[in-house]
Amino acid sequence: MRSILRIIGALLVLLILILLVNTLRTRSHQLADVPPVAPIEIPDSAIHHLAGAIRIPTVSYTDYSLTDTTQFDKFLTYIQVTFPLIHQRLKRETFNQYGLLYEWKGKNSALKPVLLMGHYDVVPVIQGTQRMWKRPPFGGLVEGGYLYGRGTLDDKMSVIALLETVEYLLRTNFQPARTLLLAFGQDEETSAQRGAQTIAAALKKRGTSVEYVLDEGGVIKTDGVSGLKKPVALIGITEKGYLSLELTAIGKGGHSSMPPAQTSIGMVAEAVSKLEHNPFPARLDGGVDRLLDYLAPEVSFGQRIALANRWLFASLIEQQMSQTKSGNASIRTTTAPTIFRAGAKDNVLPIDATATVNFRLLPGDTVEGVIERVKQVIDNDSIQVNILGKGNNPSAVSDPESPAFLKIHQTIKSVFPNVVVAPYVMLGATDSKYYSGIASSIFRFSPIPLNDAETQSIHGTNERIRVQDYQNMIRFYVALIKNSQQ
């Protein structure tokens, strides 16, 4: 008996030792001693340039016939007038009239170009929410240190800040060694068919290969993440895939006074319920592992033990992450029923009932795999499962150890010295995925500090940007371009 206790004791000591060694072996991934960026005076005109762009409602609608293209013409004229040097000295191409690609030729053609991108279309102001806006969404008002309006965070601020940056660099006679490409889409909020998809296809056809792509994406999350007091700059190294499935049951219809045991509505409801009760399994290997690697050395000792010993604590971590909507979406393919349609009259049994379910695929899952699992879970041959559109697989995971990531990391530290930098899985979709044919390093990051409440204003109401934050965006892009010359 005593020897058994002794063995158990020895094993426990061994386990604790392993946990401690793993914990103590975590080394910070943060770049240390990055010199602060040289101070650049950003003139007041910069925020007013963005304000002018906000006042042009370049709203994109899924039904393209609703799009007011005169606003897009206005926008193109506006940037030509506002940024004259760019339009004198850079090569500009348009794609489907409004997709924009600028090329600033570098001196050293042996270096691959860098592609910085954004989109200047915005989502409409949702019917019924107009009155909730404290300032008019297309007023472009600068007040109390903020600029208000649709597009101040998504994503006109990127487009105008990049143009402001290049105009500044041209004015100060900067000459890039590395070619700089700027790509601005006009329909990111819908299909990106006219913009990013066309631009990316053209570049691929020309055989262009770029060092890295940087698009909108993660922000500097000022609310931090659990266990970490500092703001975290989240750089998207991948984005989830997208798939919508339509589940349809065909019943017999008839009078509601003599219903069958299960109606078409009942069948589809049961299928949806099964899907909700059988979520996709949680996994820490879909890109979130890289986030945890970066966070582990920065969090409290207790949390570090768990993050550094995922071989033992994976299910505990998964359980913890599942508690929040964003945490949950970072570790699994999500299932979201979004449309339910059936019936027209209270005393008539509908013939068909349909539910649309939207899935966001974690890297590692595929469109085919998800469809197969859905059919398995529903387990009812009477329900048709049809794919809406094409769906797309998750994007490849870019390497956070790549030189490109390090350049972005270094630039963040030079402009925002107190933040923790970390790679993460982007839950939403961006245009950057279309450029996978010309780049293996694709990152998604908007250099702007936001708390959770401010993030809610994106696609919502009262979108606004702090003037100071906008100025720092420009400082960031200036520094990034300068840091990317080797």
Judged by the rule CB under 5 A, the positions of this chain that interact with Zn ion are 154-155
Question: Looking at beta carbons only, is 188 or 318 nearer to Zn ion?
Answer: 188
Shortest separation between residue 153's beta carbon and Zn ion, angstroms:
9
Shortest separation between residue 229's beta carbon and Zn ion, angstroms:
29
Q: Known catalytic residue: 318? A: no
Question: Looking at beta carbons only, is 152 or 484 nearer to Zn ion?
Answer: 152
Q: Which two tokens stand for residue 157?
A: 């601020």
- Residue 440: partners with Cβ closer than 8 Å, 6 or more residues away: 396, 398, 399
- Residue 64: partners with Cβ closer than 8 Å, 6 or more residues away: 187, 190
Active-site hit among 121, 187, 189, 211 = 121
Q: What three-state secondary structure class fits 139?
A: coil
Q: Classify 231 in phi/psi space as left (phi over 0), alpha (psi -120 to 50) or beta.
A: beta
Shortest separation between residue 62's beta carbon and Zn ion, angstroms:
15
Shortest separation between residue 353's beta carbon and Zn ion, angstroms:
34
Q: For residues 442 and 239, what is the distance between their CA atoms, to the nearest angstrom?
A: 10
Question: Looking at beta carbons only, is 154 or 318 nearer to Zn ion?
Answer: 154
* Bridge partner residues of 95 (DSSP): 99
Instruction: Work out the angle between the directed axes of helices 301-308 and 2-25 (0-180°, nearest 10).
Output: 100
> Do residues 432 and 204 make contact, with C-beta atoms less than 8 angstroms apart?
no
Query: Cis ω on the peptide bond leading into residue 155 (within 30° of 0)?
Result: yes
Question: Looking at beta carbons only, is 154 or 469 nearer to Zn ion?
Answer: 154
Q: What three-state secondary structure class fits 63?
A: coil
Shortest separation between residue 425's beta carbon and Zn ion, angstroms:
17
Q: Known catalytic residue: 188? A: yes
Q: Which residue has the tokens 């053209």?
A: 202
Q: For residues 294 and 296, what is the distance between their CA atoms, to the nearest angstrom?
A: 6
* Bridge partner residues of 448 (DSSP): none
Active-site hit among 155, 188, 215, 298 = 188
Question: Looking at beta carbons only, is 29 or 150 nearer to Zn ion?
Answer: 150
Question: Looking at beta carbons only, is 124 or 224 nearer to Zn ion?
Answer: 124
Shortest separation between residue 430's beta carbon and Zn ion, angstroms:
7
Burial class (CB in 10 A: 0-12, 13-18, 19+), 347: exposed
Q: Mind telling me the catalytic residues?
A: 121, 188
